Amino acid sequence: MELIKNKDETSLDVKVIGRLDTNTAPILEKELSRDLPDIKELTFDFEELFYVSSAGLRIILSTQKTMNVQGKMIIKNVNDLVMEVFDATGFVDILTIE
């Protein structure tokens, strides 16, 4: 997994490339815990995210809960494979997906 981040005072854009799984989810979690405290708008770009496991879904859900308190979270450019997972798990109902 590769992360490309663009951060200013109150917004953070994160492009996730590759796989978000048991091995890589802790990396994303660590990066987000460092960056999120002052963030009001978080945007994920999942255009090049090709796989998400339950560990990845757990990080996405916990981040959504954090951002519900702090501001908003948007997920953009979700490919068909990841969208199928979001549909099957009901995440489409709790995430803002553009």
DSSP 43-82: EEE-TTEEEE-HHHHHHHHHHHHHHHHHSEEEEE---HHH
pLDDT 10s digits, 7-60 = 999 999 999 999 999 999 999 999 999 999 999 999 999 999 999 999 999 999
CB–CB of 78/97 below 8 Å?
yes
CB–CB of 51/19 below 8 Å?
yes
Looking up tokens 């002052």 gives 38
Total structural domains within the chain: 1
- Reported pTM: 0.94
- CATH code at 71? 3.30.750.24
Q: Tell me the sheet residues that pair with 32.
A: none
Confidence of residue 83 (pLDDT cuts 50, 70, 90): very high
In 3D space, the residue among 63, 2, 76 whose CA is nearest the CA of residue 36 turns out to be 63
Q: For residue 47, give its domain range.
A: 2-93
